[in-house]
Homo-oligomer: A and B are copies of this chain.
Amino acid sequence: MTSLSLWAEIFRDAEAAAKKEPAMAAFIQAMVLDHDSFAQALAFQLATEFGQPRMPADTLNKTFCEIYADNANVWTAGEADIRATRARDAACNDYLAPLLFFKGYRALQGYRVAHWLWTHGHKVTALYLQSMISARLNADIHPAARIGEGVTLDHATGLVVGETCVIENEVSLFQDVTLGGTGKEGGDRHPKVRHGVLISSGAKILGNIEIGESAKVGAGSVVLKDVPAHTTVAGVPAVVVGASLDTPALTMDHTLEAD
């Protein structure tokens, strides 16, 4: 499926929704139907979300459109994320809902432009975006963190991702998860989360440790040491409780017993 058809599908669903629920028509018109591409609609929504009187939405919109125009990978990552979200989230049956309504999806796209700004010398603007994402969408992601594609942030309330984190492709993170540092010294001090990992709600992972490929971290776990690939850990502090043979980020299987 090409990028065009993703946007075409969103557009079609938006038209149907606006027709079926007239009370939503003006909102959907502004958020989707007034735009010509996925990138343009996304830029507009992020700008609306993060603007305020002293940093007007249309100034942000212009900035985001320019980033997207010159760096297609920023918004194509957003396409990969929305496909991942729909595939993994049992409550999600279309691409329209994540784009319009999912806090985690929107926070992640906000991070993606903040990250571009941070790595291109606009650090204060990036910090502004981080603070707005954190205040309005309740997910605090440092713009210096490096996050791959096809990532799902489910619900996202309370998520914290630290400055030197690395999150690879195809990872799923849930609400209340912390990927934090330890100590007051700078340098590389946050977790590295490898491909395919699932981190369940409320897990706290602290320090420059590695969560190996396709590992699973159980809900409410506290992880202070490396987690081997293809294992499941759980508990406070977390210990290995089993294998993790599939890719848990894709199955979204939070159970601990059957691995």
Task: Tally chain A residues at the interface, Cβ within 8 Å.
Answer: 95
B219:A184 contact, CB within 8 angstroms: no
Q: How far is the CA of A100 from the CA of B125 in the complex (A)?
A: 11
Q: How far is the CA of A189 from the CA of B234 in the complex (A)?
A: 21
| Chain B residues in 8 Å Cβ range of A138 | 134-135, 138, 157-158
Q: How far is the CA of A136 from the CA of B49 in the complex (A)?
A: 12
Each complex incorporates copies of this chain amounting to 6
A219:B219 contact, CB within 8 angstroms: no
Closest partner residue, chain B, to A35 (CB atom): B62
Chain A 37-56 residues near chain B, CB threshold 8 A: 44, 48, 53-56
Q: Give the residue of B57, B125, B157, B207 whose beta carbon is less than 8 angstroms from that of A21.
A: B125
B183:A253 contact, CB within 8 angstroms: yes
CB distance from A110 to the nearest CB of B (A): 12
User: A108-148 toward B: CB 8 Å interface, digit per residue (1/0)?
Assistant: 00000000000000111101101100111110101000000
Q: Give the residue of B160, B178, B254 whose beta carbon is less than 8 angstroms from that of A207.
A: B254
Q: Give the residue of B22, B91, B250, B256 whose beta carbon is less than 8 angstroms from that of A163.
A: B91
Q: Is A191 in contact with chain B by the CB < 8 A criterion? A: no
B26:A54 contact, CB within 8 angstroms: yes
A30:B17 contact, CB within 8 angstroms: no
Closest partner residue, chain B, to A107 (CB atom): B135
Closest partner residue, chain B, to A184 (CB atom): B252
| Chain B residues in 8 Å Cβ range of A59 | 23, 29-30, 34
